[in-house]
A = this chain, B = another copy of it.
Amino acid sequence: MIRIVLIGSGNVASHLISAFAQQNLAKIIQVYTRNKEMSIDTIETVHDFSELKEADVYLIAVTDQAISDISNQIPFHGKLVVHTSGSVPLKALSTHNRRGVFYPLQTFSKNKSVTFKEIPICIEAENATDLDVLKTIAESISDHPYEISSEQRKALHVAAVFVCNFVNHLYRIGSDICNENNIPFKILEPLILETASKIATLSPEKAQTGPAKRKDTQTINAHLAFLTDKEQQDIYKLLTKSIIDHDQKL
């Protein structure tokens, strides 16, 4: 059994605790958190780095900015220390220890459970043995481990911002437009789900529909006239232009 010390108690840390609780190949033997009020059922919780136990892997699941500093505070040398961030390079970790990355590629919200088995876990290490350890841990909670370099992970994180954070913001605009016109936002749910599930069988290029795809300037102009919010207009214009430009490159 691989023994893990988890550092952090935020969204990602909480979801990792639930995921690891469901199997026996790897076990979180201790959680470190700054938050002195916090304790976790059945797992020892500490608030001082001097109390950290010996373990096989130290998993740092904290904000990007704190990763480097925390990796320097781990009171061991030569251990495998990995972070869970999409945007921090492996090299940001202290050289006191063997370095790696264990990045679950998903959007985590408090109070919304996820099926961890389906989440891709991007792993990276400095040598083959450590990569094997991370692969074993990843496979203990997920069916989709991927070996991804720091450079690829950076690209992946940018792509994730487009397909998740920006997409959610477009849902927000859709929801605002519905609210302003006394339409239940729920009516758009099947469309949203179908648009997302389509890409499992059709490339986004083939799946594209709508006025911009058809270069239907009459509808485009009617939509722009309908929108009164300047920022919504700007987004409508820019994305419409981008869809048309993209098609012209084909």
Contact = CB atoms under 8 A, between A and B. Distances in A.
Given A180-B155, A206-B109, A216-B64, A162 B174 contact: yes
Interface stretch (A31-39, A124-132, A235-243): A235-243
Contact of A164 (B183, B210, B245): B210
Interface stretch (A47-55, A67-75, A93-101, A144-152): A144-152
Given A109-B202, A209-B109, A162 B156 contact: no
A210 to B, nearest CB: 3
The binding surface of chain A is classed by DSSP as helix
B242 A235 contact: yes
A66 interface: no
Contacts of A180: 155
Interface centre among A177, A185, A196 (most CB of B within 10 A): A196
Copies of this chain, complex-wide, total 2
Contact of A187 (B146, B192, B205, B242): B146
Interface in A158-180: 158-175, 177-178, 180
A157 to B, nearest CB: 8
Contacts of A14: none
B231 A112 contact: no
A152 B209 contact: no
A159 B172 contact: no
Contacts of A161: 210-211, 223, 236
Contacts of A79: none
A41 interface: no
Given A156-B187, A234-B238, 11 more contacts: A105-B188, A106-B191, A109-B209, A159-B183, A159-B188, A161-B223, A162-B174, A163-B191, A167-B170, A167-B171, A168-B199
Interface of A: 64-65, 87, 105-109, 111-112, 114, 118-120, 122, 144, 146, 148, 151-152, 154-175, 177-178, 180-185, 187-213, 216, 218-219, 222-223, 226-227, 231, 234-236, 238-239, 241-243, 245-246
